[in-house]
Structure 1
């Protein structure tokens, strides 16, 4: 996740919270450390939990070997900032534009009486809904990252939302999905506010990421009380295919 724009940070201490500059590393070295694979320089979630991975810093010469040890040769890893020069054999992929949204004082969570907590037994339905609604990555054990809730109609899961990254003091709301036949009923808003309620109850703030092109969703989240913090470039690098070591930290 590469940050490309800082115009919206202003002097607001919420917008300026440094853990939001690298929420994946904060989560993997904090609340989600029990799920993390890797070491002091590079970490990731298990492949069936989340595709997110991060490094402590790109300034340490040993980071390249740490990433290579973690993901192997010819594998993808979240890209460093454009200003970071890649070692020989590492290749950047094409990034896509995204946004990071954070709560404002206008965001007031509220529990929803119809929301049911989802868990392991609900995974097949959750995966099916995600496949149809395309809210972003959701894998067989993503539910381990936090609290996921849904709404059922005639026993069938038709809407869901939940918690993903947990950087210090924050919770990312993710997997906001509604069955096409049940859109326009406000189900997504209700579930987001239910998740927000539980986040705020434990003294944390809510945040979100979205594709910059998903303008309808961004307008919805802004209407609920989120605001833009940063524009991002979501991109990856591919590690060298060669079995030789990275000639950086030796």
Structure 2
């Protein structure tokens, strides 16, 4: 079950009726906002291209019509990741999942990192190699299209990374935060988070991020930087009704 944390900024309570509520369904909000140009959509269901970000979203997870639209969008017998969803309609199958946490910026010190470089499509093979070794979360062949990604190099080799993923209106998610194991303990992740946040703040958005609920080290780091835990919610891997010869995962 999703759990909400009441936050305070500047002495005012921030409840779901505040702008924070757009984060309750962040994937849908992004696909209907700044990332609409990337959206594949049928009615009240949408998804990112499967080589950009392997998630789908529903306008209202409690609406059977939205699930029908998702079925039309992904096809029969297709496995898809979706959040925040707790139950699925008859015919859909839950085949996996976990619990994630969402943290929002309530006191982060954002500042540029002079040693950070902006990464582009030509850097994707190196990014994929670093992500495979550090497992910060999904990064796919065209994930870099979602926003700005910054890296730090040592003797020309990429050793640390952070960037932008979801963009609900007014917010930008910091994602893919990782450091080569041989270079940990130098504060590289902290510098990159602050540098990515500086760019987010410059365009008027507020940083937020997600982490697996059992990734206590990452959560502890983010809280020490000025993020506050806002909610816990399920992440499901579901299979659509019907059969498909390919058993596709999106």
Instruction: Tell me the TM-score normalized by structure 2.
Output: 0.89
Distance change >3 Å, CA 214–CA 80, structure 1 → 2: closer
Which has the larger displacement, 6-15 or 108-117?
A: 6-15
Distance change >3 Å, CA 233–CA 91, structure 1 → 2: same
Distance change >3 Å, CA 102–CA 241, structure 1 → 2: same
Give per-residue Cα distances to partners, 1:183-228, cap 9 Å, x unaligned.
0100000000000001111111000000111111111111110010
Instruction: Tell me the TM-score normalized by structure 1.
Output: 0.89
Question: Residue in 2 aligned with 1:248?
Answer: none
Unaligned residue ranges in structure 1 (runs of 5+):
244-250
Match runs of 1:69-84 below 5 Å:
69-77=72-80, 78=82, 81-82=85-86, 84=87
Which has the larger displacement, 183-192 or 7-16?
A: 7-16
How far apart in 2 are the matches of 1:7 and 1:123? Answer: 36
Unaligned residue ranges in structure 2 (runs of 5+):
245-250
Q: Is the 8 A contact 2:29 2:168 kept in 1?
A: yes
Match runs of 1:88-103 below 5 Å:
89-103=91-105
Q: Is the 8 A contact 2:6 2:15 kept in 1?
A: no
How far apart in 2 are the matches of 1:183 and 1:79? Answer: 31
Question: Residue in 1 aligned with 2:70?
Answer: 67
Which has the larger displacement, 229-238 or 106-115?
A: 229-238
Give per-residue Cα distances to partners, 1:20-57, cap 9 Å, x unaligned.
10000010011000011113311111111011210112
Question: Residue in 2 aligned with 1:32?
Answer: 35
Which secondary structure state, in structure 1, belongs to the residue aligned with residue 228 of structure 2? strand
How far apart in 2 are the matches of 1:154 and 1:80? Answer: 42
Question: Residue in 1 aligned with 2:186?
Answer: 185
Which secondary structure state, in structure 2, belongs to the residue aligned with residue 234 of structure 1? strand
Q: How many residues align?
A: 238
CA-based RMSD of the aligned residues comes to: 1.8
